[in-house]
Structure formats: structure tokens, C-alpha cells
């Protein structure tokens, strides 16, 4: 199993592509990263777009 723990310290990251996640808990570290550093390009599975990006 791979996790994103510690990703919030990757403040030079410009692109991240997450191909698969079972739940938003699996990508909660992404919120911590975005609080410190705005990532330009984020690729997530379609099922998470509304929850993560606030799209309705």
C-alpha cells in the first residue's frame, strides 16, 4: 500500500497525478499540501472531483 504521508513537505511539487484511491481519506494529505503550497496540476480519479475541487 502506498500513502501520501509527508507529501505536505514537497513544496516544489508542480504536478501530481493520483490514478487510484479508495476514499478521500487516502488523499487527505493532498489538502495539507495545498494549505502550504498550491500545486498547479492535480490529476484525480473522476469520482473525487466534486469533493476535492468543490465542483457541483
What is the pLDDT at residue 3?
Answer: 62
How many residues can be counted in the chain? 56
- What does the pLDDT profile of the chain (56 residues) look like in tens digits? 456 667 777 777 788 887 777 776 667 777 777 888 888 888 887 777 666 555 44
On the CB side of 30, CA atoms within 13 Å amount to: 23
Q: Diameter of the chain by CA atoms?
A: 31
- H helix intervals, the chain: 28-36, 49-53
Q: How far is CA 53 from CA 5, 25, 36, in A?
A: 20, 15, 17
pTM attached to this predicted model: 0.51
Q: Which helix (H) or strand (E) holds 55?
A: none
Amino acid at each position: 500500500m502506498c500513502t501520501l504521508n509527508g507529501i505536505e513537505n514537497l513544496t516544489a511539487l508542480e504536478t501530481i497525478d493520483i490514478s487510484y484511491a479508495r476514499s478521500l481519506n487516502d488523499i487527505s494529505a493532498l489538502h495539507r499540501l495545498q494549505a502550504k503550497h498550491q500545486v498547479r496540476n492535480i490529476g484525480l480519479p473522476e469520482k473525487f472531483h466534486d469533493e476535492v475541487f468543490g465542483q457541483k
